[in-house]
Structure 1
Amino acid sequence: MLLTEMAPPPGAQEVAGLRARVRTARRGALVALSASIALLATAQLLADRAATREHALPLAVLSLAVFAAALPALAITQYAWGARARLVRQRERELYAAARSGRAHPLTRLAVACGWAVTLLLGWTVPRFFREAAMYAFADALTWAVEALSVISVAAGVLFLLWWARDALGILARALRSGGSPGDPWDPGHGARPREGAALWTGAAVAVAALLGARAHLWEPATGVIYALLTAALVCGVVTDE
């Protein structure tokens, strides 16, 4: 009997469903991260180009609103992603005595942490836009809040780096001892799955990077180009099924 004609072992279909849920949660977390950075960068770019204080104030408010919404959105989506990933790794260990879904986690976690850092850095500049809009008292209050948040963020970043290094070394040590995961014939693995979404994610990443470059004054795109980049970042992330 061919392998493809054999019934899957007990639990294989459950693990396949859990892996699908992880991919869905990962997509949601990445969409939230890329959209947050793109929206923040765009709002701040437009605020920089505002001709008057009256025009700058709505954009400053928009920037603050996006930042305030981004923090819980990132926390919730990434918590859901992590919880589902832990569940599937636990089930894989029960069935196969090894977790196939944990190989790239150190690099993924580091990339997500960099996304958090970029989001926070953009958020820390929000008080300046209120000050330029002549909202001095509110800008001072925001500055105090941002300074408190920055201290918490730096402490969290140090703790993350220590935890990440320990976790990465642990994964490397386990891989060297076991020689790698034995695999699972009923799951073709990442290499055999369709990769149509890779081009869309690349487009979203390029658009977000271009907006960040403009925000850092590395180049000066026209306003229409900024809107086009924002649209590309949002559409590429939303329409991808990967």
Structure 2
Amino acid sequence: MLLTETAPPPGAQRLAELRATARTARRRAFVALSAAIALLTTAQLLADRAQTDEQTLPLAVLSLAIFMTAVPVLVATQYVWGAHARLVRLRERELYAVTPSARTRPLSRLAVACGWAVTLLLGWTEPHFFHEAALYAFADSLRWAAEALAVVSLAAGVLFVIWWARDAVGMLARAARSGGSPGDPWDPGHGARPREGAALWTGAAVAVAALVGARAHLWEPGTAVIYALLTAALVCGVVTGE
């Protein structure tokens, strides 16, 4: 009997389901991260171009609301992603005694960390917009909160760098000692997954990078271009899962 005609070994089908769930959680985490940066950057770009205090205030409030909503959403989506990824690694150890090399895991974690850094940097500029809207007392209070957030963020960043470096070195050491998981013939695995969403992810990344570059005053796009970039970032991110 051919191998493809035999029943999957115990646990293989469940492992395939766990991998699919983890991939979905990862996609949602990256969609939330890219959408948060795109929305926050767009709101701040429009607020920065407002001509009067009355025009600046609603955009400043919108920017602050996006930031305060984005932080818990990012925490939740990335926690779910991490929880499912841990389940996959645990199941792989149970079935194969070792886990796959997961060469892209350090890169994905570094990408998430960079996304967090951009989001927090944008959040630290929130007091500026309320100062421009002539809400000086609120801007001063917000500046104090931003300074406290900056201290906490820098401490978290140092801890992340230490943890990331230790984990990356550990993965390299394990890869040198072992050939990794023998694989599962009933599951596509990491190397055979379809890559149709690669172009869409690239488009979303380029659009978000262009918005961040405009926010950093590296270039000065028109308002219509800003809206087009925002639309491209959101559409490309959402369509990756369709």
Aligned equivalents of 2:223, 2:104: Cα separation in 1? 38
Cα distance, 1:3 vs. partner?
A: 1.7
* Residues 127-167 of structure 1: per-residue CA shift (max 9 Å, x gap): 00000110100000000000001000000110111111111
> What amino acid is aligned across from residue 106 of structure 1 in structure 2?
P
Kindly provide the amino acid, as one letter, of the partner of residue 20 in structure 1: A
SS of the residue aligned with 2:185?
A: coil
Cα drift, residue 184 of structure 1: 2.1
TM-score of the pair, normalised by structure 1: 0.97
Q: Does the Cα contact within 8 Å between 2:100 and 2:181 map onto a contact in 1?
A: yes
Pairing of 1:40-189 with structure 2 (within 5 A): 40-100=40-100, 102-189=102-189
Q: CA deviation at 1:188?
A: 2.3
Cα deviation digits, residues 45-71 of structure 1 (max 9, x gap): 001110111000000001100000011
1:196 maps to which residue?
196
Task: Look up the match of 1:27.
Answer: 27
Residue 216 of structure 2 corresponds to 216
TM-score by length of structure 2 reads 0.97
Q: CA deviation at 1:100?
A: 2.4
Deviations 1:111-131 (A, max 9, x none): 100100000000100100000
Structure 1 residue 2: Cα displacement: 1.6
Q: After the TM superposition, which segments of 4 or more aligned residues of structure 1 sit over 4 Å from their partners?
A: none
> CA 1:101–1:171 in structure 2 vs 1: closer, same or farther (change >3 Å)?
closer
Q: Specify the alignment match of 1:205 in structure 2.
A: 205
Q: Measure the CA separation in 1 of the matches of 2:162 and 2:132.
A: 39
How far apart are 1:189 and its partner, in Å? 2.3
Distance in 1, Cα, partners of 2:20 & 2:181: 20
For 1:184 and 1:97, the matched residues in 2 are separated by 13
- Measure, in 2, the Cα distance between the counterparts of 1:29 and 1:204: 14
Name the stretch that deviates more: 58-67 or 173-182: 173-182
Instruction: Measure how far apart 1:101 and its partner are.
Output: 7.1
Aligned AA (1:119): T
Deviations 1:48-99 (A, max 9, x none): 1101110000000011000000110000000000000000100011001121
Report deviation, 1:27: 1.0
Extract unaligned runs of 5+ from structure 2.
none
Letter in 1 for 2:24: T
User: 1:9 maps to what in 2?
Assistant: 9
**Code of the aligned partner of 1:71:** V
C-alpha root-mean-square deviation of aligned residues, in Å? 1.2
Matched, 1:39 2:53: no
The aligned amino acid for 1:144 is W
Aligned to 2:240: 240
Mapped to 2, the partners of 1:50 and 1:12 lie a distance apart of 57
Where 1:51 maps in the other structure, the secondary structure is coil
Structure 1: segments with no counterpart, 5+ residues: none
Distance in 1 (alpha carbons) for counterparts of 2:101 and 2:91: 11
Aligned residues: 242
Report the Cα offset of residue 195 of structure 1: 1.1
Retained in 1: the 8 A contact 2:44–2:59? yes
Q: Is the 8 A contact 2:40 2:122 kept in 1?
A: yes
Q: Secondary structure at the match of 1:190?
A: coil
